[in-house]
Amino acid sequence: MLRPEITALDRNEIYTYLGLHGSDIKSVQMDSCEKKRMEDQIDFCEREVLAAASPRAVYKIIPVSSILISANTQRVLSDVCSLKQSLPDGYDIILEGKDIANLLDDCSEAILMALTLGTGLEKRLMREEVTDMSNALIMDICASVAVDNAADHLMTMLQEELKESGRFLTNRYSPGYGDLPLSVQRPLIEYLDAPRQIGLTLTAANLMVPRKSITAILGISGHMKKKVLGGCARCPLKPKCFYRARGTRCFL
């Protein structure tokens, strides 16, 4: 088990989640007192999130040859309750979709990872939800930024270890994004023994508990690969995206 760090949160990311389009906060139409109150509220929520979060992560490095990758997006990976029962002989895990096939193309190994900010933060968010919904919204946003921050730090830690042997990480790709089914979540978490290792479990609908958690797959290659899977083009929410409708985006 690893304990990634969370640094001070990127304020521009928080503004973007709030619909303020990053550094354009100075041009938002509100008087100076309102801006000061908002900044104070964000400061409070950030402090509470950083105090309550306890990042923990687990990962495994496996040969890509031991992953069954099916680019046939018509075949949905359904209700995989038992990893051992679901896998053909010789394979450790099954991944569906063209996106994950592209990610792992020309990679010799893959990293399967799970990370959570812990139950302490989950309880803090739930408490705020019944006492102050305005704070609860901003605190939830701060927690979303924090879990990405922790995942980025974990990737930095892993890349530092790999670069000594001339290996490089791809970007990370999570179940439920693009054409990688959310149902991959369950065998991934079971394979990593995440419930016991870091206290990360799933609901019947494959949603993670605690909520502020991430699972992901990364490739390991002998050369730096162009990171092509991020952004709006491959996002399943593109047709109904609030940010695109306003001429902005959800990432920086």
Q: Give the CATH number, domain containing residue 213.
A: 3.40.109.40
Let me know if residue 27 belongs to a domain: no
Let me know if residue 77 belongs to a domain: yes
Give the tens place of pLDDT for each residue, 87-134: 666 667 888 888 888 899 889 999 999 999 999 999 999 999 999 999
Residue 81's pLDDT is 37
Residue 35's pLDDT is 80
Q: 142 and 45 in contact (C-beta within 8 Å)?
A: yes
Residue 50's pLDDT is 96
Let me know if residue 245 belongs to a domain: no
Let me know if residue 171 belongs to a domain: yes
**Residues lower than pLDDT 70 in the chain:** 21-30, 70-91, 226-252
Let me know if residue 78 belongs to a domain: yes
Let me know if residue 38 belongs to a domain: no
Residue 77's pLDDT is 39
Residue 11's pLDDT is 86
| Total of domains in the chain | 1
Let me know if residue 49 belongs to a domain: no
Let me know if residue 35 belongs to a domain: no
Q: Domain range for residue 159?
A: 56-128+145-239
